[in-house]
Amino acid sequence: MSLLTIILNILIPPLAVFLNHGLSGKFLISLLLTLVGWLPGVIYAFYVN
């Protein structure tokens, strides 16, 4: 995991997932979790990436 990915995981979790996996189900889950709450989105982004 690169430093850029770590920073994006913290600041903008859906973007980090999108850059690694493209427009997929993982991206949509990350987007929904981030909309519900920032912390669940961050945790999921670290888990997926």
Per-domain residue ranges of the chain: 3-48
pTM beyond 0.85, yes or no: yes
What are the tens digits of pLDDT across the range 15-49?
A: 999 999 999 999 999 999 999 999 999 999 999 99
Looking up tokens 């996996």 gives: 21
Mean pLDDT of 2-14: 95
Q: Is the torsion defined by CA of 25, 21, 47, 30 positive or negative?
A: negative
Q: Is the pLDDT of residue 1 over 90?
A: no
Q: Where residue 14 falls among pLDDT bands split at 50, 70, 90?
A: very high
